[in-house]
Amino acid sequence: MAKLYFRYGAMGSAKTMNLLAVAHNYEQQGKHVYMIKPALDDRFGADLIRSRAGLERKADLCVQPDTVIDLEVLRGIDCVIVDECQFLSEFVVHQLRNITVDMDIPVICYGLRTNFMTRLFEGSKRLMEVADAIEEVKTTCAYCNRKAVFNIKLRQGTACTQGAEIELGAEDLYQPTCCRCFEARIGVDNPLRNRGSHVELWLVRHGETIENASGILSGQIEAKLSPRGIEQAIALKDKLAGVSFDGVYSSSLQRAMDTAHYAGYDNPVAVDELREFCFGDYDGWKIQDVPQDWAKALYAFKDDFVTPNGENIAMVNARASGFVDTLKPGRYLIFAHGGVIRTIAKNLGADRFIQNGTALIIDWTHKEIMGTVE
């Protein structure tokens, strides 16, 4: 018995070019193919099947959801080939399945597996259930070199989660993505997390300062980015590109504001509650000159760490986490400091001290670390 094939791939995986090549190969052997496409896919013309590489041919049949395929026209046909099969109705898929049984003609269907919210299309769902062979047409993520498994929908270059399931478009509207890049760009409406609205934090430690490089404790004294720190901040621009944020905040200390500027965010909201620890008597001292038992306690970051005439962990946590608790559900980019970020992470039961110019991604609602940007 002939088989029903479902060959799926993400956007840009050359599915239609593959389809046209298969049709060409059949015809080179003197065999006859019958080409089907959904009528609603009229991007290149009502009955035209066209690849983005420019190859094209006419479809023999454009189907509506209720189309009844005339089996008489298939007599003498060696293969039925279907483009954009994700748009087919279950009614039409059943007919394709029956063609392989009743007429012993192989049917090869090409299309997307899931929509921009990672859900199966009607046609794809039924094909996954009834096809004899399910094969992937592979391509790489538009944002990295991993294999693409999802399709992300764009509005003016930014990922979005709204709109109709079927909205015809090409690279200007959709991009293939791996799971990691999909999650990074889709934001708090991420369907893979199945959590509804929550607060997601991207906590960036400012770039290296001259004081950092010199081993000087620069809690709430002003410090200046070093050349290396500026490079780290500039590098963040590409790392954060394409990620949408519902708000951008920064510690009101200049080194954090400058990092935001070099990273491409010129107008972050300055927040005093996000300032670094006040190291009191030791602010501005070289770390080698402070009492070493105090320095060890600082590095250990235990709950009972105390700064002479300055702040302890509980005080910093009260102001920094208190600010975060005021945020509405959404994804937020926050430029801050190593001590503040480490304090916020302690709320998750994790001790995370991150390097200059890197970010810690946190699901604040569910108190989980989601990843890092380095």
Token pair for 1: 């018995």
Asked if residue 358 and residue 270 are part of one domain, the reply reads: yes
Asked if residue 108 and residue 32 are part of one domain, the reply reads: yes
Asked if residue 82 and residue 224 are part of one domain, the reply reads: no
Residue 224: how many CB atoms within 10 A of its CB? 13
Asked if residue 346 and residue 270 are part of one domain, the reply reads: yes
- Written as one letter, the residue type at 211 is E
Asked if residue 244 and residue 355 are part of one domain, the reply reads: yes
Pairwise CA distance, residues 40 & 332, whole Å? 39
Q: What confidence tier does 167 reach under pLDDT thresholds 50, 70, 90? A: low
Question: Domain for residue 114, yes or no?
Answer: yes
Token pair for 108: 């090869």
Question: Domain for residue 147, yes or no?
Answer: no
- DSSP assignment letter at 221: S
Please report the pLDDT score of residue 373 as a whole number: 85
Please report the pLDDT score of residue 338 as a whole number: 94
Asked if residue 203 and residue 135 are part of one domain, the reply reads: no
Asked if residue 364 and residue 271 are part of one domain, the reply reads: yes
Range of the domain at 305: 199-373
Q: Is the pTM of this model over 0.85?
A: no
pLDDT digits (tens, 9 = 90+) for 85-127: 999 999 999 999 999 999 999 999 999 999 988 899 999 999 9
Look at residue 324 and tell me whether its pLDDT is greater than 90. yes
Asked if residue 215 and residue 89 are part of one domain, the reply reads: no
pLDDT digits (tens, 9 = 90+) for 200-222: 899 999 999 999 999 999 999 99
Pairwise CA distance, residues 68 & 3, whole Å? 20
Known catalytic residue at 211:
no
Mean pLDDT of 238-254: 89
Beta strands of 265-342 (E only): which ranges? 269-271, 330-336
Please report the pLDDT score of residue 371 as a whole number: 82
Please report the pLDDT score of residue 190 as a whole number: 72
Options 84, 183, 200, 276, the catalytic residue: 84
Among residues 139, 158, 175, the one where a domain terminates is 139
Give the chain's largest Cα–Cα span: 93
Question: Domain for residue 193, yes or no?
Answer: no
Q: What confidence tier does 181 reach under pLDDT thresholds 50, 70, 90? A: confident
Q: Concatenated DSSP letters for 351-365? A: --PPPTT-EEEEETT
How would you class 249 by CB atoms within 10 Å of its CB: exposed for 0-12, middle for 13-18, buried for 19 or more?
buried
Among residues 111, 139, 167, the one where a domain terminates is 139
Please report the pLDDT score of residue 206 as a whole number: 97
Please report the pLDDT score of residue 297 as a whole number: 86
pLDDT digits (tens, 9 = 90+) for 10-44: 988 999 999 999 999 999 999 999 999 999 877 76
The CATH number of the domain holding residue 84 is: 3.40.50.300
- DSSP assignment letter at 151: E
Instruction: Considering only residues 49 and 65, tell me which one the structure prediction assigns the higher pLDDT.
Output: 65
Question: Domain for residue 249, yes or no?
Answer: yes
Q: Which helix (H) or strand (E) is 250 found in, with range?
A: strand 247-251
Please report the pLDDT score of residue 59 as a whole number: 92
Domain total of the chain: 2
Please report the pLDDT score of residue 72 as a whole number: 95
Look at residue 254 and tell me whether its pLDDT is greater than 60. yes
Question: Domain for residue 190, yes or no?
Answer: no
Please report the pLDDT score of residue 170 as a whole number: 52
Q: What confidence tier does 56 reach under pLDDT thresholds 50, 70, 90? A: confident
> Per mean pLDDT, which of 44-58, 181-195, 327-341 is the most reliable?
327-341
Asked if residue 367 and residue 271 are part of one domain, the reply reads: yes
Among residues 139, 160, 178, the one where a domain terminates is 139
Asked if residue 253 and residue 117 are part of one domain, the reply reads: no
Please report the pLDDT score of residue 257 as a whole number: 97
pLDDT digits (tens, 9 = 90+) for 325-339: 999 988 899 999 999
Token pair for 265: 């965010």
Pairwise CA distance, residues 295 & 224, whole Å? 23
Asked if residue 46 and residue 130 are part of one domain, the reply reads: yes
Question: Domain for residue 151, yes or no?
Answer: no
Asked if residue 350 and residue 214 are part of one domain, the reply reads: yes
Please report the pLDDT score of residue 353 as a whole number: 86
Question: Domain for residue 303, yes or no?
Answer: yes
Q: What are phi and psi of 174, to 5 degrees?
A: -135, 150
**What rounded mean pLDDT belongs to the chain?**
89
Mean pLDDT of 294-303: 86
Q: What confidence tier does 163 reach under pLDDT thresholds 50, 70, 90? A: low
Token pair for 268: 């972050």
Look at residue 370 and tell me whether its pLDDT is greater than 90. no
Please report the pLDDT score of residue 165 as a whole number: 60
Question: Domain for residue 296, yes or no?
Answer: yes
The CATH number of the domain holding residue 257 is: 3.40.50.1240
